[in-house]
Amino acid sequence: MTDYAAPVEDMRFVLDRIVGLDRIAALPGYEDVSADLVDAVLEEAAKLAGEVLAPLNQVGDRERCRYENGVVRMPTGFRAAYDQYRDGGWNGLPFDPDYGGQGLPWAVAFAVQEMWQAANLSFGLCPLLNQGAVELLQSHGTPEQKAAYLPKLISGEWTGTMNLTEPQAGSDLSAVRCRAEPQPDGSYRIRGQKIFITYGEHDLATNIVHMTLARLPDAPPGTRGISLFLVPKFMVGEDGEPGPRNDVRCVSVEHKLGIHASPTCVMSFGDDDGAVGYLVGQENRGLAAMFTMMNNARLSVGLEGVAIADRAYQQARTYAFERVQGQSVGQDGGEPGPIIGHPDVRRMLLTMKASTEAARALTYFAAWQLDLAKRAPTEAARADARALADLLTPVVKAWCTDLGCEVASTGIQVHGGMGFVEETGAAQHLRDARICPIYEGTNGIQAADLVFRKVGRDDGAAALGFIETMADFDMPLSRQSGDDIAVIRLRLAAGVNALREATQWVAATVPSNPVAAAAAAGPYLKMFGMVAGGYMMARAAAEAASMIADGGTVTGFLAGKLATARFYADHFLAQAQGLIVPVTAGHHAVVSLADSQF
């Protein structure tokens, strides 16, 4: 497997030129976020990712985590790597300094998280779930819960999980049956079973805090009757340290297609006296509270798609320069050369590179909206950012994870037959990536969320507002980049017009024909991601062209950014208009085919 080197130059470019470090530093509480600080954070994170986590990726895939008598043992090297990660303070990057966090922006934290996920996706899933638990407690926990649990969750000494799914429920949380019985001391006894619990049991931390959905005895049916409870693996004593074992345990781990080193657990609550849990938020309002954790996780899973795409691209790029085979088209004699000379290999690599860079920029931009939603100086600005973050969350989650799978698959194709051989490591990227479109609500659920909750609910106001922002983007021509910029402008305008037409159709169709809107949801989300990614690449091209013009020299990175943006415009944005028919008319066959005809 090829070594991983974090794409720090592109990360810096997106943070500085697309998000804007100056805009970040202008927010209250972020005044000390300088370019030098961000550079130092990225460089140090890149060392840990490349030198410590990445070498364990194939080790974890081969050894897998092991379930032994109720205990999950992590593969060789994982505990030492986690200790180094925790002791370096990496877990607390974006969190409240009052509880031991470093208070850095989410946009910066996402760049660092990308490194963990790209270097070792199985490892990176542990801090991802912990991050969501912290966000949930910060938003909905009592002062006592925050004081008892946040410092050690933020430090990484303890880790958190999300316990939603049950065997009979799947994604339908209205079917949750796990029970919570009130106790005289104000606690609850939790009984039931949860499945697919990522890092539900492991030997990396001294305690695990399970955020768990359950029903009270008098709860109404459906999602209106779900409450949220904090259930620690070990009870926490008055000294703040883990004490007696709680009545919650892992009873098995799943054997999966990929992410072999990430324990996916079946958790049993209350086999004996009942697991002690504490209500988080209000009774019967647990799902609303849990969505704080779920929405955080959805953006982070989208980031996983970006990360695994970049890892697969790096490996394919290295192989294309090393693998000698045949003469390229137009070569007149001479020795065979590396396959990077073949136009179709170059097309595949550019497809991988362009889609990854577009997805990265869109994901960091969405994370930036989280920062604005929390720290913008006016309530109107915070509300606008929250609305845009909500709109982009299902797009980032679904579009980026679909791209992650496509890029990893293309990486195998670049390798040819060697990509199908496990020793190269190319196949692992695809196996690992395949869970991401399923995590945190399948991508079909994300598409339905976009259509019904994010577009249909406000008659498309938020979506159309973002579309007009994209339409108004100005790309000045310059002597050095005029042809490329002109083409990108043309393709972006056509893509935005197609997305506007599709959005207007969706907004009108949701109330009048919800079945048709549901059938169109997948193609519509794909179009939205494709155009939004094109907008990010257009902005990147404009910034690169401006920097070239200002400096008078063409650096390899800036010229490559401009060429990659042109490729995206020609090969991705040009597809947006072709999705109009699947969005507006594709539902006819979907609903007309009889069940017996499938």
Neighbour tally for 197: CB within 10 Å: 24
Q: Any bridge partners for residue 161, and if so which? A: 210
- What pLDDT does residue 580 have? 97
Beta carbons within 8 Å of 102's beta carbon, 6+ residues apart = 89, 92, 93, 94, 95
Q: Which residues are bridge partners to 188 per DSSP?
A: 182, 277
pLDDT for the residue 476: 80
For the cut 90, the answer to whether the pLDDT of residue 555 exceeds it is: no
d(CA 398, CA 444): 8
What's residue 335's pLDDT? 85
| Helices within 452-513 (DSSP H only) | 461-471, 482-512
Distance of CA 27 to the CA centre of its chain: 24
Per-residue model confidence as pLDDT tens digits over 174-215:
788 999 999 999 999 999 999 999 999 999 999 999 999 999
State the DSSP string of 382-426: HHHHHHHHHHHHHHHHHHHHHHHHHHHHHHHHHHGGGGGSGGGSH
Per-residue pLDDT of 101-134, as tens digits, reads 999 999 999 999 999 999 999 999 999 999 999 9
Query: pLDDT tens for residues 293-314?
Result: 788 789 999 999 999 999 999 9
Provide the pLDDT for residue 288.
Answer: 85
Q: Per residue in 368-379, pLDDT tens?
A: 999 999 999 999
Contact 224, 189 (CB under 8 A): no
Reply yes or no on whether the pLDDT at 279 is more than 70: yes
Q: Which residue has the tokens 């090829």?
A: 2
Place of tokens 């294309």: 320
Would you name the residues annotated as active-site residues? 440
* pLDDT, tens digit, 9 for 90 and up, residues 534-547: 999 999 999 999 99
Q: Output the pLDDT for position 480.
A: 61
For residue 481, pLDDT over 70 is answered with no
Give yes or no for a contact between 49 and 43, defined as CB atoms under 8 angstroms apart.
no
pLDDT value, residue 190: 98
Q: What whole-number percentage of the chain has pLDDT above 90?
A: 90
3-class SS at 453?
helix
Predicted confidence (pLDDT) per residue in 360-412, tens digit: 999 999 999 999 999 999 999 999 999 999 999 999 999 999 999 999 999 99
Q: Tens of pLDDT along 440-464?
A: 999 999 999 999 999 999 999 999 9
CA distances for 478 relative to 13, 475, 551, 569, angstroms: 20, 9, 13, 18
pLDDT tens figures, 212-259: 999 999 999 988 999 999 999 999 999 999 999 999 999 999 999 999
- Of residues 105, 107, 114, the one with CA closest to residue 15: 107
Q: Average the pLDDT over 81-104 and give the result.
A: 97
* pLDDT tens figures, 345-362: 999 999 999 999 999 999
Q: Are strands 188-198 and 179-182 parallel, antiparallel or unpaired?
A: antiparallel
Pick from 531, 545, 534: nearest CA to 484: 545
Q: Are 316 and 308 in contact (CB under 8 A)?
A: no
pLDDT of residue 150: 98
Q: Structure pTM? A: 0.96
Element (H, E) at 114: helix 106-119
* Buried/exposed code over 159-174 (b: 16+ C-beta within 10 A; e: otherwise): bbbbbbbbeebeeebe
Distance CA 340, CA 324 (A): 9
The stretch 467-493 carries a mean pLDDT of 88
Q: What is the pLDDT of residue 567?
A: 98
Tokens 């079973």 sit on residue: 193
Rounded to the nearest integer, the mean pLDDT of the chain is 95
CB of 305 within 8 A of CB of 395? Answer: no
For 162, 198, 200, 220, the CA distances from 269, given in Å and listed in that order, are 14, 16, 12, 22
Instruction: Specify the pLDDT at position 1.
Output: 76
| Token pair recorded at residue 394 | 């299902």
Is the confidence at residue 553, as pLDDT, over 70? Answer: no
**Buried-state track 256-282, b at ≥16 Cβ within 10 A, e below 16:** bebbbbbbbbbbbbbeeebbbbbbbbe
- Give the count of alpha carbons within 13 A of 203, CB side only: 16
Number of helices and strands in the chain (H, E):
19, 12
8-state DSSP, 163: E
Which DSSP symbol is given to 483?
H
pLDDT level of residue 85 (50, 70, 90 thresholds): very high
* pLDDT band for position 552 (cuts 50, 70, 90): low
3 state SS of 179: strand
DSSP one-letter string for 3-61: PP---HHHHHHIIIIII-HHHHHTSTT-TT--HHHHHHHHHHHHHHIIIIIGGGHHHHH
For residue 41, give the nearest of 100, 98, 97, 88 by alpha carbon.
88
Element (H, E) at 450: none
